[in-house]
Amino acid sequence: MPRKKPFLRNAARTTVVNENDLVTLEECYSKLGQGFSRSSILRRINSGEYQEGVHWVNVASVNVKNRIIKINMAAIRELISTPAAFR
């Protein structure tokens, strides 16, 4: 049975995320390099800098206590390519 694609809910619209852009935390910080460690990515998620449904997705079941986080690499790359003054 094929896996369902994660849906991102953003205000009034629902979009489907390309599964090729979703990576684990470990893959994310290894691809992004310097300045992006596991703790810095989690800090940005917890502070709200990375928005759920845009920059990251929780792919765990609803009844699971711990989150299983997948990062949307396309959205993160777009965010870091935008100068801070224009975010």
Residue 11's pLDDT band, with cuts at 50, 70 and 90, is very low
Domain of residue 79: give its range: 7-86
56 domain-assigned: yes
- CA separation for the pair 52, 50 (Å, rounded): 7
36 domain-assigned: yes
Handedness of CA 8, 32, 40, 24 (dihedral sign): positive
Q: Give the CA diameter of the chain.
A: 46
Number of domains in the chain: 1
Q: In the prediction, which pLDDT does 72 show?
A: 92
Q: In the prediction, which pLDDT does 5 show?
A: 58
What are the pLDDT digits (tens) for 60-70?
A: 888 888 888 99
Distances (CA, A) of 59 to 4, 72, 81, 84: 10, 12, 26, 29
- CA separation for the pair 11, 70 (Å, rounded): 20
32 domain-assigned: yes
